[in-house]
C-alpha cells in the first residue's frame, strides 16, 4: 500500500500523540517530503512563491505602503502599532491604597527566542518605581572593610564591565498553581515573573577588593535599595564574590527605571528578591540582618508548619509557552511546541516534551543551552490530529535535577507556601482546539 505523503512516517515519530522528530520537518524542500507537505498546508500562498499562477490579484500590489513614502526616522524606536496586544498584565493587590505595589508578568506566550524585550520585563515593586536622578544617587560599601567607599554613578561608569545573558525569576512566580482549581489565564499571567536580559555591569568582587573587605570576618552582605521600601536582603558573601554583578545596563542601554535604574544588584540564578534594585548600599557583616524580607516574607513554609529561611537558589523549571493557556488551535495539523527552561542550580541539559500527559516523552532541540543561568528555548514539532492532548515539558539540569510533577511539589512544601513552585505544567488541548490549564 502506498503511504500517504501528508502523514508522518513511523520513523518521523518521536513520542506518542503526534510528537515528531525535528529533522522530519526541517529536511528537504516544501512539498518534497512528507513533513514538507504539512508545511505547505500551513502556507496557502506557498504555491504562489513556487511560481504557480496566483488564484486572485495579490492584495500586496494595492497596499498603500507600497505606493507612498513611509514615516520619518525617530530618535528612539517603538514597536509596530499592530503589536500593542502584546503586553504585561498588571496585578495590584491593594489597588485602592497602594496602586504602585504589585507585579506584572512577562507575556511569555508572545515571546520568541530567549531575550525579554526591556519593555516586557516582569516587574515587582514593594513601594513603586522611584524616579532617581543619577547625579544625586550614590552607592556605599561599608561595614567590615578597610576603606568604606562611596561611588557616584559617574565613578561606577569608569570601571571594567562584563556582560551576561541571565534570567531573573521572582520566587513567587507560578504560585497561582497552588489554587484549588487551575486558573484559566495565559501562560505569562501564571509563570511570567521570569525574564531574561543581557546584563552589563561591574563584578561585585572588583568593588569589594577595592574596599578591602575583611574576608576572614565578613560572611554576609546586607544589600539595600533606595526606593520607599528601602528593601534590604542579606546575601552570603561567597555567592556575591563568585558571580554577583553591580548591573548598570540591560539589553545594551541603561537599566530601565522598573529594573533598578541607575544601579541594581544582580544575583544570577537566585530568587529575584535578592537582586536589590536602586541599590544604595552594601554592608559587609558577620551574620544576616534578619530583615523583613527574610523573616516574615520569602521563607518557605514546610508541611510541618516550620519555615525554611534563605532558600535563595531557583530550582530547575520549564514551561511550554505555545500552545498554552487561553490559546485556540485553529485546525489540526502541524504546530511547534515551544517554551522556556531555566535553572539556578546549573545549565539546562535537556528538556523533554509529552503530548500524552507524561506517558511518552520526546527530546527537544535547545537554544541558549551554553548560558549559565540563561533562559533556554526548546522546540519540538507536533502533528495534532484533533484528539485530546495533554502537553507537558520537563527540564533536567546538568546536575541531573529533574523538574517535579505538581503532586511531588505540593507534598514537599505546605500548600500555603508561596515560593519556589517549579513543577511540570500541563496544558490540555481539547478537540475544539482550546488550550486550558489542568492539574
Ligand atoms: N529595592 C527594591 N529591590 C527589589 C524589589 C523592590 O521592591 N525594591 N523587588 C524585588 C523582587 S521581589 C523581585 S522579584 C525583583 C524584580 O525585579 P524586576 O522588577 O526587575 O523584574 O526585584 C527585587 N528587588
Ligand atoms: Mo519577587
Q: What is the tens place of the pLDDT at every residue in 194-234?
A: 999 999 999 999 999 999 999 999 999 999 999 999 999 99
What dihedral do alpha carbons 334, 335, 336, 339 form, nearest 10°? -160
Compute the distance from residue 108 Cα to the ligand 2 centre, in Å: 17
CB 126 less than 6 A from any atom of ligand 1: yes
Q: With 80 as the cut, is the pLDDT of residue 60 above it?
A: no
Distances in Å between the Cα of 103 and the Cα atoms of 16, 32, 90, 364 are 38, 49, 6, 32
Single out the residue of 174, 216, 175 nearest to residue 191, CA to CA: 174
C-alpha of 288 from chain center:
29
CB 259 less than 6 A from any atom of ligand 1: yes
Q: Using CA positions, which residue lies closest to atom 18 of ligand 1? A: 123
CB 419 less than 6 A from any atom of ligand 1: no
Residue 376, C-beta contacts closer than 8 angstroms, at least 6 positions apart = 114, 340, 341, 342, 348, 351, 366, 367, 368, 369, 395
Distance CA 411, CA 389 (A): 26
Q: With 70 as the cut, is the pLDDT of residue 414 above it?
A: yes
Per cent of the chain over pLDDT 90 is 86
Compute the distance from residue 296 Cα to the ligand 2 centre, in Å: 14
Compute the distance from residue 225 Cα to the ligand 2 centre, in Å: 14
Per cent of the chain over pLDDT 70 is 91
Q: What is the pLDDT of residues 268-301, one digit of tens each?
A: 999 999 999 999 999 999 999 999 999 989 999 9
Distances in Å between the Cα of 382 and the Cα atoms of 14, 15, 184, 228, 377 are 9, 10, 23, 49, 16
Grid coordinates of 313: 537558589
CB 314 less than 6 A from any atom of ligand 1: no
Compute the distance from residue 240 Cα to the ligand 2 centre, in Å: 19
pTM here is 0.93
What's the mean pLDDT when you consider all of the chain? 92
Cα of first residue to Cα of last residue in the chain, in angstroms, is: 42
- For residue 103, the ligand 1 atom closest to its alpha carbon is 19
Q: Using CA positions, which residue lies closest to atom 19 of ligand 1? A: 123
* pLDDT given for residue 32 in this prediction: 35
CB 168 less than 6 A from any atom of ligand 1: yes
CB 272 less than 6 A from any atom of ligand 1: yes
CB 169 less than 6 A from any atom of ligand 1: no
Single out the residue of 288, 383, 314 nearest to residue 19, CA to CA: 383
Compute the distance from residue 173 Cα to the ligand 2 centre, in Å: 8
CB 122 less than 6 A from any atom of ligand 1: yes
Grid coordinates of 179: 489554587
Q: What is the pLDDT of residues 301-352, one digit of tens each?
A: 999 999 999 999 999 999 999 999 999 999 999 999 999 999 999 999 999 9
Mean pLDDT is lowest, of 19-28, 56-65, 157-166, for: 56-65
Strand partners, 167: 196
Q: What is the pLDDT of residues 245-268, one digit of tens each?
A: 999 999 999 999 999 999 999 999
Compute the distance from residue 25 Cα to the ligand 1 centre, in Å: 42
Burial of 156 (0-12, 13-18, 19+ CB in 10 A): buried
Is 168 within 8 Å of 268 (Cβ atoms)? no
Q: Return the SS3 of 352.
A: strand
Higher model confidence: residue 26 or residue 110? 110
Amino acid at each position: 500500500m502506498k503511504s500517504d505523503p501528508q502523514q508522518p512516517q513511523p520513523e518521523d515519530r518521536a513520542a506518542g500523540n503526534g510528537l515528531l522528530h525535528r529533522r522530519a520537518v526541517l529536511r528537504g524542500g516544501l512539498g518534497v517530503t512528507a513533513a514538507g507537505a504539512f508545511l505547505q498546508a500551513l502556507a496557502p500562498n506557498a504555491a504562489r512563491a513556487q511560481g504557480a499562477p496566483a488564484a486572485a490579484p495579490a492584495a500586496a500590489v494595492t497596499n498603500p505602503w507600497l505606493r507612498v513614502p513611509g514615516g520619518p526616522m525617530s530618535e528612539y524606536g517603538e514597536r509596530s502599532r499592530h503589536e500593542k496586544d502584546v503586553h504585561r498584565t498588571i496585578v495590584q493587590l491593594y489597588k485602592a491604597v497602594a496602586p504602585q505595589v504589585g507585579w506584572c508578568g512577562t507575556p511569555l506566550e508572545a515571546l520568541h527566542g530567549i531575550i525579554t524585550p526591556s519593555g516586557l520585563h516582569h516587574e515587582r515593586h514593594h513601594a513603586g518605581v522611584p524616579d532617581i536622578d543619577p547625579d544625586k544617587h550614590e552607592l556605599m560599601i561599608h561595614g567590615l572593610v578597610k576603606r568604606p567607599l562611596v561611588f557616584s554613578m559617574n565613578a561606577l561608569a569608569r570601571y571594567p564591565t562584563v556582560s551576561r545573558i541571565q534570567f531573573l525569576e521572582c520566587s513567587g512566580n507560578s504560585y497561582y498553581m497552588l489554587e484549588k482549581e487551575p486558573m484559566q489565564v495565559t501562560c505569562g499571567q501564571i509563570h511570567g515573573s521570569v525574564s531574561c536580559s543581557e546584563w552589563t555591569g561591574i563584578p561585585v568582587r572588583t568593588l569589594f577588593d577595592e574596599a578591602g573587605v575583611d574576608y576572614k570576618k565578613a560572611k554576609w552582605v546586607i544589600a539595600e535599595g533606595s526606593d520607599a521600601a528601602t528593601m534590604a536582603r542579606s546575601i552570603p558573601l561567597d555567592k556575591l564574590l563568585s558571580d554577583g554583578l553591580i548591573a548598570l545596563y540591560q539589553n545594551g542601554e541603561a537599566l530601565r527605571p522598573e529594573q533598578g535604574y541607575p544601579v541594581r544588584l544582580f544575583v544570577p540564578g537566585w530568587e529575584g528578591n535578592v537582586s536589590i534594585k536602586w541599590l544604595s548600599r552594601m554592608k559587609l557583616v558577620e551574620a544576616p540582618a534578619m530583615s523583613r524580607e527574610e523573616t516574615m516574607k520569602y521563607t518557605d513554609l514546610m508541611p510541618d508548619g516550620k519555615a525554611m529561611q534563605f532558600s535563595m537558589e531557583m530550582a530547575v523549571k520549564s514551561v511550554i509557552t505555545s500552545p498554552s493557556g487561553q490559546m485556540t488551535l485553529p485546525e489540526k495539523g502541524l504546530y511547534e511546541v515551544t517554551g522556556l527552561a531555566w535553572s539556578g542550580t546549573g545549565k539546562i541539559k535537556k528538556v523533554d516534551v509529552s503530548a500524552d500527559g507524561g506517558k511518552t516523552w520526546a527530546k527537544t532541540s535547545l537554544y541558549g543551552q551554553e548560558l549559565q543561568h540563561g533562559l533556554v528555548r526548546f522546540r519540538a514539532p507536533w502533528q495534532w490530529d484533533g484528539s485530546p492532548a495533554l502537553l507537558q515539558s520537563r527540564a533536567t539540569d546538568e546536575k541531573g535535577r529533574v523538574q517535579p510533577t505538581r503532586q511531588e511539589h505540593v507534598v514537599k512544601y505546605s500548600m500555603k507556601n508561596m515560593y519556589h513552585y517549579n513543577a511540570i505544567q500541563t496544558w490540555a488541548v481539547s478537540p475544539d482546539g482550546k488550550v486550558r490549564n489542568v492539574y
